[in-house]
Amino acid sequence: MQSLRVIFAVAKKDIATLFRYPTWFISVIIWPLIFPLLYILTSFAYAGPDRRGLTVFQRVAGTENIMGYIIIGTMVWMAVNITMWNYGGYLREEQLRGTLESNWLCPVNKFSILLGAGILSMVLSIMFSLVGIIEYRLIYGIKFTGNLFEWIIVFLILFPGVYGLGMIFASLILWAKEVNAAVNVARGIMMILCGITYPIYIMPNWMQFLAKFLPFTFGIQAARDILIMDKTLVETVYNLILCLGEGVIFLVLGMFIFKSVEKRVKISGSLERF
């Protein structure tokens, strides 16, 4: 019970803080709209003036809904990206603000604080995804398949991996004190390996092998199966299980790294050091 109270208190505090920066919602409206557009327009350009080349891409991707295909990939990437910037840098931000020690002085399992911090990222990810779906449905007339229950399942299955990766980052950054380089490398790797705008089998074998260690590779595939290819949860169960399974491994790894970094900073006294 105490842990739940802490998790919700942290989330409430973060949401209240976010709402006091009045421009935050602009990115929620603009970003989902413009980010996939870059890839969509590039694909149109490569397809030629009569877009004949798109048929090749449609054959490779396994769907005629190329815009939807790209939107799903970029939406998942944005969710991971938000998590890494917000959640991955959470402890570092508290450290720079000077409030990390105040939190650490409290008689709670510090892991609850980290869990609570993830709620804001989750809320933002859901908002970005919903806004993206609404904007593409209304502006470009893209049809999404599946029902709300299936969409929620796909979203939930992605979360252990997203959370786990965020925890790994949050912990390592607390120790390494540098956010930007680490996040840029990780999101770059994910952008390439997980196939956010193309199917992974067009990559060399060794890259495909590496891609299979990332839960998002399977999460993106499952999301495409449900949201644009009209498949059922059962039909994409292989992707769902692998996404969830690998995500849980990320989560356990995140907890382990957090505990070990927590002990390390208590020895080195670097909790408040910039």
Which residues of this protein are in contact with another protein, per CB under 8 A? 2, 5-6, 8-9, 12-13, 16-17, 20-21, 97-99, 101-109, 113, 263, 266-269, 271
Nearer to another protein, 95 or 236 (CB): 95
DSSP notation for 119-183: HHHHHHHHHHHHHHHHHHHHHH-----S-HHHHHHHHHHHHHHHHHHHHHHHHHHHHH---HHHH
Residue 86 contacts residue 17 (beta carbons within 8 Å): no
Residues 6 or more apart in contact with residue 57 via CB below 8 angstroms: 43, 47, 66
Tokens of 138: 């209304």
In angstroms, give the least distance from the CB of 274 to another protein. Answer: 12
Nearer to another protein, 260 or 268 (CB): 268
In angstroms, give the least distance from the CB of 256 to another protein. Answer: 19
Nearer to another protein, 108 or 222 (CB): 108
Nearer to another protein, 25 or 209 (CB): 25
Other CB atoms within 10 A of residue 34 CB: 9
Give which of 215, 221, 163, 213 is closest to 195, Cα–Cα.
221
In angstroms, give the least distance from the CB of 88 to another protein. Answer: 20
In angstroms, give the least distance from the CB of 172 to another protein. Answer: 19
In angstroms, give the least distance from the CB of 89 to another protein. Answer: 17
Rounded distance between C-alpha atoms, residue 49 and residue 62, angstroms: 22
In angstroms, give the least distance from the CB of 178 to another protein. Answer: 17
Rounded distance between C-alpha atoms, residue 64 and residue 56, angstroms: 10
Nearer to another protein, 6 or 124 (CB): 6
Nearer to another protein, 178 or 272 (CB): 272
In angstroms, give the least distance from the CB of 27 to another protein. Answer: 18
Nearer to another protein, 42 or 109 (CB): 109
